[in-house]
Structure 1
């Protein structure tokens, strides 16, 4: 009865406050019923490119001289000839990338955390919000948008924003835990609120959700199990997933997204890779010449946002690495699969001879040691030496495991670099994110 009331109020408010949202939801749902998603994806790329060539001064200049664009409708093989958009180009050409034919009400500005360099800004197209894709993912896990939800993020939202959020979602209840200055009083209050409203969703950054899970396990605290736990903003170690699922009594959903394009791919309950949102984003895995790599092969990620007409992002080289998976998911959904993103191609451990050790290799190497840590971080200095900084779960744990990890990394680096382990009280953060690797190499 209560759930029916919440659904009725939610549906009524959505129609009044944001009537376009229901239409977008229906359209997004219909996309998965089309006969050929690949054809739909290509058609959307063609439309976006045509728009960029007429409305974005940056792309008019960048693509000048590409004769195949004069044909009007490009083929998929032509699309791969377009030069990628680099992060430096995005940073230096913000004003000219923006489309000429938009008004201020059509977009909102978003800025990256700068975890891998200087922050960059983009515009998100308000006419095509990510909400319907979020609802799609939640629906896979039987979570409805009108059900109570809980969130753990780094910093507390401003009071005005919290009040506005409460009003917008009433009578649905949402609770938030700010993890920047956690203490036992805050944690216990969050536990009480959690058990009171019984949220079906717990969402937050990987590291802070993991820290909350460890608090529950270490203190033998039980909470009402949600239907899913949704983690974002950092690579997810499988041992972290295992401990979180034990603490929360619920499956953990990994996803891939970023400030520039919020929802790119996410796991379904089969947890057999991430489903790519092929109807709203085009993702490519390419080699150093920006040509496609074979399935199951790691490559640079290029992203094209098929819904952002305010600030076109076409073949955007974000700096991540990943791979297509050549199998289909047993869930039956037509969306293709990619592997969980394990790190950024631009931030690796490097040796004087040029050997590059990627984040995905580090995660595989350290699998089996993570249960004794709250957090770890690899910090590489200008002389190529690496310090594995770690925060142990308890005072008597971590040193032996960290030293083994240091030896493994030194062997992987062919003994070209010195690797040490150091216990710390807090890991170095970049605004809201906690990078796995921080490099001070020039």
Structure 2
């Protein structure tokens, strides 16, 4: 815990650094990490050597942007060779991705990194103290013994959880009972799980004491969903960016004007189709480097999410750079028989002009390439008409290639609390 407090003080100091000094700090840390990986990881040694790099080259921070981008398939196929010489049972903790939106990956987290400090950074922006009671809505991976150990570690603070794989009435009732007993300052979890809980509470006419903040992650959040969550819990909603590979990457501050990247500990690049950094306001793919994990380096790792850089310093005064909310994943696209691809960031924004038309939607491409648009109608008095206009737009985009069908539904299933805006059964 002491290491976390020390790291927290350090990163708080970085939040108001001059942008040029902050960039220089990140550049030095990034190239030093790449050099370490080439010296201590078999995979990076061979990968960088094959690309024509030497250790001498990796003394120059300018070389970093030319390093090869690492694909998920490389980690999947060669995970054992990514581990560095520092990886051992004392320093490395097995980790991975769940695979609900892509094939699972196995990797290692560095036990020596006080990641709680990154969480506390977000709490500070949201007005939450680390010692406050916190309610979570995630998939439950802990055994009973692990849950008891977690509770003892945070005593007398309370951390209680609703398992997104068990969103039934009895589990929700138990969660409501815990909420009324402990009055959490923060509710955090998957967008899908929190939306489901909000609708259950609204349908049953149940009101809970408002937390200070609600934090969501794991999927894009539509404006209508943000409004819905804020109305039910009577608290501001904050988006943040994290995944199995990188525990924390970025998050919203009180201004809700994009997400600050943790540039002192993560290097977030947004690249175009040529794998070069895009300009502010231009959408590209996220390529992430963890500047802290020395047991399983992930350097210039293509995470596959879509976002855009935001120019200028945020009104909150924090100088950490910003990106827009993640719009969708490259892998979550629709593909037509003629080879045309409809980008995921287009599909996730099909209701951006009419956000009140739907409460939730999903674009599901069937194995025969046909497209089903599932919608839960929203509060707009012209909801059906607005949904029909989106269906016509989709049909215009695909032309005569495949049929597009509309389904008006009451619920849309989620994968363990993660909403999949674009789902495809097409084998690529």
Instruction: State if a TM-score over 0.5 links the two structures.
Output: yes
1:377 equivalent to 2:362? Answer: yes
2:74 to 81, 86, 89: 89
1:32 equivalent to 2:32? Answer: no
CA contact (8 A) 2:212 2:235 kept: yes
| Whole-angstrom CA distance in 2 between matches of 1:263 and 1:291 | 24
| Whole-angstrom CA distance in 1 between matches of 2:244 and 2:164 | 20
| Whole-angstrom CA distance in 2 between matches of 1:356 and 1:203 | 34
Structure 1 counterpart SS, 2:103: coil
Q: Aligned residue for 1:23? A: 6
Mean CA deviation greater in 21-30 or 246-255: 21-30
2:230 to 236, 245, 248: 245
Structure 1 counterpart SS, 2:149: helix
Distance 1:179 1:96, change over 3 A: closer
CA contact (8 A) 1:240 1:370 kept: no
Q: Aligned residue for 2:239? A: 254
Q: Aligned residue for 2:309? A: 324
| Whole-angstrom CA distance in 2 between matches of 1:205 and 1:133 | 18
Task: Please show how residues 279-428 of structure 1 align to structure 2 within 5 Å.
Answer: 279-367=264-352, 375-390=360-375, 404-422=389-407, 427=412
Task: Please show how residues 162-201 of structure 1 align to structure 2 within 5 Å.
Answer: 162-201=147-186
CA contact (8 A) 1:239 1:367 kept: no
| Whole-angstrom CA distance in 1 between matches of 2:39 and 2:55 | 12
| Whole-angstrom CA distance in 2 between matches of 1:398 and 1:323 | 30
Distance 1:33 1:414, change over 3 A: same
Distance 1:401 1:365, change over 3 A: same
Cα RMSD after superposing both structures: 2.5
How many positions carry a matched residue from both structures? 423
TM-score, with structure 2 as normaliser: 0.91
Distance 1:368 1:240, change over 3 A: farther
CA contact (8 A) 1:154 1:208 kept: no
Q: Please state how far the C-alpha of 1:114 moved relative to its aligned partner.
A: 1.4
Q: Please state how far the C-alpha of 1:377 moved relative to its aligned partner.
A: 2.6
Structure 2 counterpart SS, 1:93: helix
Q: Aligned residue for 2:424? A: 439
Distance 1:349 1:142, change over 3 A: same
Distance 1:74 1:357, change over 3 A: farther
Q: Please state how far the C-alpha of 1:428 moved relative to its aligned partner.
A: 5.2
| Whole-angstrom CA distance in 1 between matches of 2:114 and 2:339 | 42
TM-score, with structure 1 as normaliser: 0.88
- Structure 1 unmatched runs, 5+: 1-17
Q: Please state how far the C-alpha of 1:402 moved relative to its aligned partner.
A: 5.6
Q: Please state how far the C-alpha of 1:338 moved relative to its aligned partner.
A: 0.3
Q: Aligned residue for 1:56? A: 41
CA contact (8 A) 1:156 1:178 kept: no
CA contact (8 A) 1:321 1:342 kept: yes
Structure 1 counterpart SS, 2:362: strand
Task: Please show how residues 262-281 of structure 1 align to structure 2 within 5 Å.
Answer: 262-281=247-266
Mean CA deviation greater in 31-40 or 317-326: 31-40
- Structure 2 unmatched runs, 5+: none
| Whole-angstrom CA distance in 2 between matches of 1:115 and 1:182 | 17
| Whole-angstrom CA distance in 2 between matches of 1:373 and 1:34 | 42
Q: Please state how far the C-alpha of 1:33 moved relative to its aligned partner.
A: 4.9
| Whole-angstrom CA distance in 2 between matches of 1:399 and 1:389 | 12
Structure 1 counterpart SS, 2:49: coil
Deviations 1:187-228 (A, max 9, x none): 344233213311110011001101111223333322111111
Q: Please state how far the C-alpha of 1:429 moved relative to its aligned partner.
A: 4.8
Structure 2 counterpart SS, 1:272: coil
1:45 equivalent to 2:30? Answer: yes
Structure 1 counterpart SS, 2:349: helix
Distance 1:214 1:372, change over 3 A: farther
